Structure 1
Amino acid sequence: MAHEPVDLLVIGGGITGAAIARDAALRGFRAALVEKGDFGSGTSSVSSRLIHGGLRYLEQYDLHLVLEASRERRVLLRIARHLVHPLPFLFPVYRGARVPAWKLRCGLWLYDLLAAFRNVRLHRWLGRQATLRLEPGLRERDLRAAGLYYDAQTDDARLVLATMRSAAQAGALVASYAEAVSLLKPDGLVRGATVRDLLGEETRVVRALVVVNACGPWVDAVRRLDAPDADPLLRLTKGAHVAVPRQRLGNTHAVTLTSPIDGRVMFVLPWADSDQSYIGTTDTDEDVSPDEVRATAEDVIYLLRSANAFFPQARLSPNDVVATWAGLRALLRPDGNLAPSQVSREHRITESASGLLTIAGGKLTTHRAMAQELVDRVAARLRALDGRPRAPRPPTHRLPLPGGETTDLEGLIKAAVERGASDATARHLVGTYGSEAAAVLNLVDKDRALGGRIVAGRPELWAEVVHAVEREMAVRLSDVLVRRLHLFYKTRDQAVPASSAVADRLAAALGWDGARRAEEVAAYLHLVKRSRAFATEVATLGKD
């Protein structure tokens, strides 16, 4: 991308940036994207992993957002069936709760209405006994009823990756670990960026007719590269999560709760392909760097106390926490003094005096629609610059993402079993790769050793490490263990015992020397230590 100018340079490789690059490339634009970390390594891969209409936004009368999110949920269920799955949610109502039964019943009807009654299923209203039959672990005291409604769950990191790969397949040039350190302004207008390779230490110039800032919580930092005195667009709030053994909670559904601590709507969610449930999320103002955000002892205790209030037999403690993750929401800075949960999740596109386009705010669920709107602006700019015909919108709402080419997932599972995979392995591969599961099994056919399990008792195969490098643009140990395979989250030891052997595989595939391999292992162990730092803080609080 450094050799000749491109039409569009996207700075930021989260879900929004990936969707912008995909939309632009499908319109025939010469598009390039740079990301200073792994693709999706910021907020996009540390979310609540939900594709949802936003039931709670009805309390804020944000009907437009719920309408748009409900439509986009249908789109993602169609184009990424292997990564986005329908999920039933149970919302119990207790005597004296902040959200009374009448309000929830009205909200659920409105939720179905805004989805044009085309959600996975219509909601149902359940009495007390029917609620306890579905979720016997719920607190019985003061339970009145519950609403059963439907949203969807996703693998957020892999949704980013699939979108990025779709962009690359359409012709976009994408680079991870490539940081935009300055903007080019040869005529006073932004015409590209100076990009530093964070792994190779080289610096290159990328020239572009239009530059887009899609950096999530780093949006204001990039805006200051253009105008050092730019007023901030964002209000950053932290969302933290904890994963715990599902057997302690016993939940079979996703459960929507209102925290007894502060009344915030939160979730207890089963995690597919694991024996865990995760609890989230917090919503607190945060001034720490997006690069340093983590779940603190205060976050963990808040989440566990909130869950214990509704699942009293669980008696969760910090010792039960298997994994934690946290990210910063890039919310639009409001004019008034609103609580974090009251701040709009809408997005905004701005253009600076020098032509830098910035997209801020928004939700994981609405990323495709946000990208479409922004690329419409890019198309208009390019037409004004050189008179080219305005390219029509591509059918991104219909084109499947890689792996999503078929809706017959059970057929794919059967085919994998017929090739010798166990049922558990077949379901894991299809749930992770969709129609590309066959490509992983092809690697096993070539080298039977790649059919072994990376971690005993888990379904992940060594072939997936090779696949991550060859097809999924993984270049670091953390790329594989955290965002491709999720062993960082799904094993109590964060896959530390396996990290050395995985590093050996990557060293062979990527040509690392001994020093680089040691650096990768050390960097991964540092991530593990940060994710567990809450435990030390809890111990300190106990002494105080």
Structure 2
Amino acid sequence: MDAGRQRTEKIDRLATEPFDLVVVGGGITGAGVALDAASRGLNVALIERNDFASGTSSKSTKLIHGGLRYLKNLEIGLVREVGQERAVVHTLAPHLVRPEKMLLPLVEGGSLGKLTTSMALWVYDFLADVEGDDKRVMLTKEETLDTEPLLRRDILTGGGFYAEYRTDDARLTIENVKTAELNGALAVNYVEATGFAYDEQHHISAVKCVDRHTDRAFEISCEHVISSAGPWVDDLRKIDKSMNNKRLFLSKGVHIVVARERLPLAHACYFDVADGRMLFAIPRLRCTYIGTTDTPYTGDPNAIPVYQEDVEYLLDATNAIFPSVNLVVEDVESSWAGVRPLIFEEGKSAGEMSRKDEIFESESGLLSIAGGKLTGYRKMAERVVDRLGKQLSEDGDSLGKTTTRKIGLTGGPFADFDEVLRYEKEIATQLKAASLTPDRAGYLVANYGKQSPTIIAMAKLRDEGSDVSRLACAEAAWCIEHELALYPLDWVERRSGRLYFDMPSIAPVLDEVIDVFAAAYGYSDAERQREHRRVIEAIEWVSTFEAQPEASPSV
């Protein structure tokens, strides 16, 4: 069956089948909700107005971490929960959620001294139940420089070395969506919720939708709705006429990417900035990425710009702690900007507002969840589905407890990270045997885990093109068939991560990858040109930076 027909059949099911639950929003929280609810036996539909993970869930710092800085705000419960969740999510997908030792250099005049850092990291480990070699180690100045020679020597006083986890947020979201489907959910991207229908008691009875791919309008009949729409949660609450004094506050976070050779860090670093903030610099395959900012944002969440001022702020801060690298704007290969949908707190700055999640329940039955951190997505999903269980109990139904702690994600299973590393060697051998590039093994396993051999087998069947393009085209075809990739940009940005972390690899394969999508979806010549233009525009969007326009004077 061709990909277009598969999608049409999914839309037909949405339009004709009754569902227990519709989840609106296909970011990490919505994907987690769909998996949690489906695994508890509910008939679940998940819809997303753009591509899965196209909002905040592809634009985080890409860490599964406990939020060390939240200890400063005494958010002990939050630090404990997400600290413990790090290990849980790592166990569910160790190929995606990878151990990452973090170096915290201590500097003269910094926000943390040796004693406070030692105590904070000890509390951090205690709250997260960290054991063995992952426990924090305090380093002298000399030991810190041995660990990371690029650090600025004259102001360095020592360091702390502790454990975190690095991930690809978009891949984590997509694997949750696929796992939800394995548990019975029906997930479709590019389907926008435009409104609600209500019964005589003014309870939501259907979600009004538009398929943005075909402009087809339809309704999804349902008993319950959970909105996990991130920055758009308040938009749906307004449609439902259930806004109250609780509202979202959007905080913009910018990251930039440079080639690893320009910032060749030995370990991820979490370092002080002159204005009192702290930034991350994180090595990832051929790149190192730096972030993040934390400023109020009132613009369009669909197109969040990275301004030259944002880039210069991050570069200046990085050069101040790693003075020998002398990074300049021309070194920045790519960037991304996302918004954190925080719960507004009067009198607090963006950096001071809590990252705790909150659930809003309207008289219509609409449940909305916002706030929270990437790390805590599974617990957020559990909480909101538990709240749904209370609605079900009022109707005389019951809902069992969550089991997602034990549901491994697609791409596995792996017993532990050591098995992941051994598997990468196996994949390198398979690539070499197929006359493909062995150095793509780490990339393939990090993205697709044990789904990699299928992609390699598909590449072997392709008899045209270079080894690089054959593998890329097989990867794209696999994502169309198994991951609902609808447009080439879906693959370039979110399935493969190339837009951010492997920009030079796009141009040599782009035309052939577009051919794969054209064959799958029957593109006309004009549509082929349109999709090529969209990818080129996306490359320009993430790699060129204009000055921030001056704010209009208030009247």
TM > 0.5: yes
- In 2, the alpha carbon distance for the partners of 1:120 and 1:44 equals 30
1:396 alignment partner in structure 2: 404
Paired amino acid for 2:18? P
Deviates more, 1:42-51 or 1:417-426: 417-426
Deviates more, 1:370-379 or 1:322-331: 370-379
- In 2, the alpha carbon distance for the partners of 1:8 and 1:120 equals 43
Conserved 8 A contact 1:11-1:33: yes
User: What TM-score do the two structures reach when normalised by structure 1?
Assistant: 0.93
Conserved 8 A contact 1:89-1:148: yes
2:262 alignment partner in structure 1: 248
Q: 1:114 to 1:327 in 2, by over 3 A?
A: same
1:222 alignment partner in structure 2: 236
Does 2:29 correspond to 1:16?
A: yes
Q: Secondary structure at the match of 2:72?
A: helix
Conserved 8 A contact 2:242-2:363: no
Q: Secondary structure at the match of 2:38?
A: helix
- In 1, the alpha carbon distance for the partners of 2:482 and 2:240 equals 35
- The Cα of 1:232 is off from its aligned counterpart by 5.2
Conserved 8 A contact 2:332-2:543: no
- The Cα of 1:294 is off from its aligned counterpart by 2.2
Paired amino acid for 1:167? A
Does 2:456 correspond to 1:441?
A: yes
Conserved 8 A contact 2:257-2:288: yes
User: What TM-score do the two structures reach when normalised by structure 2?
Assistant: 0.92
- In 2, the alpha carbon distance for the partners of 1:329 and 1:266 equals 16
Conserved 8 A contact 1:452-1:462: no
For residue 301 of structure 2, the aligned residue among 290, 294, 301 is 290
Paired amino acid for 2:467? G
For residue 235 of structure 1, the aligned residue among 230, 249, 252 is 249
Deviates more, 1:460-469 or 1:170-179: 460-469
2:167 alignment partner in structure 1: 154
Does 2:389 correspond to 1:374?
A: no
Does 2:375 correspond to 1:365?
A: yes
2:58 alignment partner in structure 1: 45
Paired amino acid for 1:399? I
2:447 alignment partner in structure 1: 432
Q: Secondary structure at the match of 1:344?
A: coil
1:205 alignment partner in structure 2: 219
1:57 alignment partner in structure 2: 70
Q: Secondary structure at the match of 1:195?
A: strand
Unpaired runs of at least 5, structure 1: none
Superposed CA offset, 1:118-169 (max 9, x none): 3761010110111111111100012110000110000111000000000111
Q: Secondary structure at the match of 2:404?
A: coil
- In 2, the alpha carbon distance for the partners of 1:427 and 1:279 equals 21
- In 1, the alpha carbon distance for the partners of 2:123 and 2:278 equals 18
- In 2, the alpha carbon distance for the partners of 1:125 and 1:431 equals 30
- In 2, the alpha carbon distance for the partners of 1:247 and 1:494 equals 16
Conserved 8 A contact 2:227-2:366: yes
Paired amino acid for 1:395? T
For residue 177 of structure 1, the aligned residue among 190, 210, 231 is 190
For residue 473 of structure 2, the aligned residue among 434, 443, 462 is 462
Does 2:204 correspond to 1:194?
A: no
Does 2:360 correspond to 1:350?
A: yes
Superposed CA offset, 1:381-431 (max 9, x none): 12322x23x232242112110012123223423433443435422232222
- In 2, the alpha carbon distance for the partners of 1:420 and 1:243 equals 28
Does 2:97 correspond to 1:84?
A: yes
- In 1, the alpha carbon distance for the partners of 2:224 and 2:428 equals 48
Deviates more, 1:147-156 or 1:422-431: 422-431
- In 1, the alpha carbon distance for the partners of 2:410 and 2:305 equals 31
- In 1, the alpha carbon distance for the partners of 2:423 and 2:28 equals 27
Paired amino acid for 1:194? K
Q: Secondary structure at the match of 1:341?
A: coil
1:70 alignment partner in structure 2: 83
Paired amino acid for 2:410? P
- In 1, the alpha carbon distance for the partners of 2:327 and 2:72 equals 30
2:519 alignment partner in structure 1: 508
Unpaired runs of at least 5, structure 2: 1-13, 551-555
Conserved 8 A contact 1:11-1:211: yes
Conserved 8 A contact 1:53-1:73: yes
Q: Secondary structure at the match of 2:16?
A: coil
Q: Secondary structure at the match of 1:249?
A: coil
Deviates more, 1:356-365 or 1:292-301: 292-301
- The Cα of 1:95 is off from its aligned counterpart by 1.5
Q: 1:193 to 1:244 in 2, by over 3 A?
A: same
Measured on the aligned residues, the alpha-carbon RMSD in Å equals: 2.0
Q: Secondary structure at the match of 1:2?
A: helix
The within-5 A match list for 1:523-542 is: 523-534=534-545, 536-537=546-547
Q: Secondary structure at the match of 2:84?
A: helix
Does 2:154 correspond to 1:141?
A: yes
- In 2, the alpha carbon distance for the partners of 1:332 and 1:24 equals 24
Conserved 8 A contact 1:450-1:461: no
- In 1, the alpha carbon distance for the partners of 2:98 and 2:339 equals 25
- In 1, the alpha carbon distance for the partners of 2:379 and 2:165 equals 17
Q: Secondary structure at the match of 2:198?
A: coil
The within-5 A match list for 1:512-523 is: 512-523=523-534
Does 2:105 correspond to 1:97?
A: no
Paired amino acid for 1:520? E
- In 1, the alpha carbon distance for the partners of 2:239 and 2:252 equals 24
Deviates more, 1:189-198 or 1:508-517: 508-517
Does 2:497 correspond to 1:482?
A: no
- In 2, the alpha carbon distance for the partners of 1:68 and 1:125 equals 24
Q: Percent identity?
A: 35
- In 2, the alpha carbon distance for the partners of 1:106 and 1:75 equals 25
- The Cα of 1:538 is off from its aligned counterpart by 8.8
